[in-house]
Structure 1
Amino acid sequence: MEIVNFTPLASLLGGSLIGLAAVLLMLVLGRIMGATGILAAAIWGEDDRSWRWAILAGMISGPALFLMLTGGWPEITVPSSTPMLVIGGLLVGLGVSYGSGCTSGHGVCGLARLSPRSLAATLTFMLTTGLTVYVTRHVMGV
């Protein structure tokens, strides 16, 4: 197995920032940082949406900050066709709906709270991901 663009320091920094953001959101507002829930409530929610839009703006502006700090964009290679990306996005959306949340809500926040439901959801996400990669790469040859 070949590991391409192994970036342990950048990954550690990114993961630490996600964890810090999740802790601060829980500490300051008492809210769980599940990205899909934040997005859905920012668009369709009826309660205070300003903090949700602030988080979404931060997620979107992150690449611009990266560009300003480094002077270039990170190289991103997606080894799949556009139709496969669209199908994958739809399947993720379906999984988020059935799983009542995403990996940020269940995997980061739920596991930190020792939630059995989040443990089951995160294990399901990871097993499904592994199975999907195996099937698409080795069975379908994509």
Structure 2
Amino acid sequence: MIHILLCCGGGFSSSALTAKVQKDIQQYHLEEQFEIEFSPCMIANKKMDRFDIVVCCPHLTYDVKKLVKNANPDKPIYILPPRMYGLIDIRELSTDVLDILEMYKKNPINPVHFPGEENVMRVTRSVAYCRSNVS
């Protein structure tokens, strides 16, 4: 099972999106494969040891850089593109999560991003990277 921690600034949007993803997990019968929780970014470091990956909302780029510099986490941190965050769907999220986990195994540098997506705020895809036109 893959444990995902979804973070936003104060925990408000991530709590709503986590509830949606939890429903998706049940709808698509993925309870054995994925589990998701939410957290405000400021306390993510205290919780991340229980998770396989930390997924952050797009506006947390600065906070993620600070977290990586100060805490040097030993798990992948992935900043979701804006449209994926707003339209979050477990099928798309899980595809990116699996790919990010593999990328991190090969090159454990945070934050993890797909080629050409270094500036997440310029990414316009709303689907998983492998299904977008950029791959």
When normalised by structure 1's length, the TM-score is 0.23
When normalised by structure 2's length, the TM-score is 0.24
Of the two, which has the highest radius of gyration? Answer: 1
Bigger strand fraction: 2
Bigger helix fraction: 1
